[in-house]
């Protein structure tokens, strides 16, 4: 696949809740559509969006992600993500995006990446949402907000970006960062 030297320069980065603040976008959509205030998006121990949007069940949120136009129209980059990516690229890392998607969502997610991270738009790997993790993407590092993608990844430096404190109450044997600044420092 890659030589050892090439692998040392590759950093894979997730989109949802890693580059893009999709939790805040879902909360904004929830309020706009239902007129109800969402609960705190910092749901400990759970990545499930419907837990802070009580009038929506899992299938409703899944449907939003499958079509995703509304999500990516509202989503902005997580604090520090733009600067973090620019810094890594400036240090010579080969930053690539690896993200789960449904066939309907690719165009909207890709437009979002083009808008906020144009330097990465030709380096995006889409994984069908029915696959369960990103373990085949193994480089120097992977930065992701989902512990299942960190636990199974064989990169030298798997970094869990826990911006929303979802894993605060768990004891994990992984590199955990709360901010992009922390993640970049680890690399």
pLDDT in tens, 20-36: 999 999 999 999 999 99
Which residue's entry shows tokens 């309907």? Answer: 104
Global pTM reads: 0.89
Average pLDDT, integer, range 41-50: 82
Q: How confident is the model at residue 3 (pLDDT cuts 50, 70, 90)?
A: very low
Structure tokens at 169: 């109450």
Instruction: Answer yes or no: is pLDDT of 42 > 60.
Output: yes
Q: What percent of the chain has pLDDT over 70?
A: 89
Q: Which residues contact 79 (CB under 8 A, 6 or more apart)?
A: 163, 179, 180
Q: What is the pLDDT of residue 79?
A: 97
Assess contact for 173 and 151: CB atoms under 8 A.
Answer: no
For the cut 80, the answer to whether the pLDDT of residue 5 exceeds it is no
- Say which residue, 148 or 36, is predicted with more confidence: 36
Mean confidence (pLDDT) of the chain: 87
Q: How far is CA 91 from the centre of its chain?
A: 22
DSSP letter, residue 99: E
Tell the residue number behind the tokens 């992977």, with chain if given: 142
* pLDDT average, residue stretch 88-95: 96
Statement: residue 172 has pLDDT above 80: no
Under the banding of pLDDT at 50, 70 and 90, the label for residue 4 is very low
């Amino acid at each position: 696949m890659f030589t050892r030297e090439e692998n040392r320069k590759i950093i894979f980065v997730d989109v949802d809740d890693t580059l893009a603040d999709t939790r805040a976008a879902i909360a904004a959509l929830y309020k706009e559509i239902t007129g109800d205030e969402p609960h705190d998006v910092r749901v400990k121990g759970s990545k499930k969006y419907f837990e802070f949007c009580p009038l929506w069940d899992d299938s409703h949120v899944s449907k939003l992600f499958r079509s995703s136009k509304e999500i990516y129209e509202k989503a902005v980059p997580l604090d520090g993500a733009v600067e973090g990516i620019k810094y890594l690229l400036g240090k010579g890392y080969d930053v690539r995006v690896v993200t789960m998607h449904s066939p309907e969502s690719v165009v909207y997610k890709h437009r979002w990446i083009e808008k906020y991270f144009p330097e990465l738009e030709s380096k995006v790997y889409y994984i069908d949402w029915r696959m369960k993790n990103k373990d085949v993407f193994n480089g120097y590092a992977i930065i992701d907000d989902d512990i299942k993608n960190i636990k199974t990844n064989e990169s030298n430096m798997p970094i869990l970006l826990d911006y929303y404190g979802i894993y605060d109450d768990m004891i994990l044997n992984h590199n955990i960062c709360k901010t992009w600044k922390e993640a970049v420092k680890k690399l």
